[in-house]
Amino acid sequence: MIITYWSYTDALIQTYTLPYARLILKALPAGSKIFLLTLDKDAFAKEQMTGDESIINISVAYQSFGIGGILMWMKTMLKLLGIIRREKISTVHAWCTPAGMIAYILAMLTRRELIIDSYEPHAEAMVENGTWKKDSFAFKLLFRFEKLQSRKAKYLIAAASGMKEYAKEKYNHTKDNMFVKPACVDLDLFSYGNVKNKKLLKELNLADKIVCVYAGKFGGIYLEDEVFSFFKTAETYWGDRFKVLVLSSHSSSEISKVATKAHLKEDTVIHRYVSHHQIPDYMGLADFAITPVKSVPSKRFCSPIKDGEYWALGIPVVITKNISDDSEIIAKSETGSVIENMNEESYLKSIQEIDMLLQNNSREQLYNKIRPLSEKYRNFEIANKIYRSIYGNA
């Protein structure tokens, strides 16, 4: 049973959970089933298939914290306990530590094995990005459960290598049961065939422009005002040649408001919200990309999905410092730029480094230089080997 805290339609399910679930299924004995819990605004009428008859989605109507939320989880726990017993489920496999709280309780009540995937700090991350306070009930509860999960889990699958030291220091976890699996990328879906789509270049009027792409959200763990200040510095540097393509679920009015605040020209920022299967073609329009994760201590242990996608398309990446293993990889391979400080001097330095890359390399040369990073660090074969090690003898 896979436990998540996300909606079925969320990209975190479609691109960050289901592909791995299919790898797990391959590693399991023939005839095995996977039950996938998702929390949806409107639960489906019944358990539905996910495109694979052996992966069954359990959709629960999500309610936020309060009486409704407590009742939701009581009913959900009873439902999950019934499925575990009826279907003779042997393992509870959670994605991230918030879902791991539910998985831990289920594993303890049923004496099933527990596996925590995408294992990284969440409680401290919420404090660092200003969402929670360290003396809040929410922080204390999740941090306590992160310790319990670490002790109980048969296997922990971390998002970055530094998590081993973090778990030892913060959770007193010393067992040798941790794998490292960064966010992997479908290398067939993101490839050179998606680079500089002529139809889209014409449609968006991006031919002969220097295009920076960002795919994702602003706020929370991501910078907002600072990113648009960076864009303003780039606009000043390149003039009308510079364009920003924002691929985001934020509304156009939200994007426009922040762009106006940064004094960007009205036509500099192009905003689109597209389905995931369209993302490679839109992302492939870029000359470079940005990963604006806040440089807080816990982000050393995350794994930005978009970096692997950018690399797979051969796109240089501007990234904040100390993010996962990615900042170091980008610096050492000279395939982008690391922003050291949130000020115009640092922004300009990164822009000049990107400019040198673009001047000294053709688009094809950049692809041939950067694509191997995704093949080495974000290949699904990394996950495949881990799941075979865990489930191969199940």
pLDDT in tens, 291-303: 999 998 999 999 9
Domain count for the chain? 2
pLDDT at 354: 98
pLDDT in tens, 336-357: 999 999 999 999 999 999 999 9
The average confidence (pLDDT) of the chain is 93
- 3-class SS letters over 55-94: EEEEEEECCCCCHHHHHHHHHHHHHHHHHHHHCCCCEEEE
Tell me, yes or no, whether 369 and 385 share the same domain: no
pLDDT at 275: 86
pLDDT at 14: 86
Tell me, yes or no, whether 231 and 355 share the same domain: yes
pLDDT beyond 70 at 13: yes
pLDDT beyond 60 at 376: yes
Tell me, yes or no, whether 250 and 160 share the same domain: no
pLDDT in tens, 179-196: 999 999 999 999 999 999
User: CB atoms < 10 A from the CB of 135, how many?
Assistant: 8
DSSP 118-169: EE---HHHHHHTTSS-TTSHHHHHHHHHHHHHHHH-SEEEESSTTHHHHHHH
Tell me, yes or no, whether 166 and 231 share the same domain: no
Tell me, yes or no, whether 237 and 283 share the same domain: yes
pLDDT at 393: 62
pLDDT in tens, 43-92: 654 445 566 789 999 999 888 767 877 888 899 999 999 999 999 999 99
Tell me, yes or no, whether 171 and 302 share the same domain: no
pLDDT in tens, 359-375: 999 999 999 999 999 99
User: CB atoms < 10 A from the CB of 263, how many?
Assistant: 11
Tell me, yes or no, whether 70 and 122 share the same domain: yes
Percent of the chain whose predicted confidence (pLDDT) is above 70: 97
Confidence of residue 134 (pLDDT cuts 50, 70, 90): very high
pLDDT at 44: 55
Q: What is the CATH number of the domain that holds 308?
A: 3.40.50.2000
Tell me, yes or no, whether 369 and 386 share the same domain: no
pLDDT at 10: 84
Tell me, yes or no, whether 256 and 159 share the same domain: no
Tell me, yes or no, whether 173 and 248 share the same domain: no
List the helix and strand counts (H, then E) for the chain: 16, 14
pLDDT in tens, 215-261: 999 988 899 999 999 999 999 999 999 999 999 989 999 999 999 99
pLDDT at 45: 41
Tell me, yes or no, whether 167 and 238 share the same domain: no
Q: What is the mean pLDDT of residues 262-270?
A: 96
Tokens for 102? 């539910």
In this prediction the pTM is: 0.89
**Domain around 164:** 2-184+379-391
The kind and range of the H/E element at 336 are strand 336-339
pLDDT at 46: 45
Tell me, yes or no, whether 357 and 209 share the same domain: yes
B/e letters for 18-32, b = 16+ CB within 10 Å, e = fewer, are bebbbbbbebbeeee
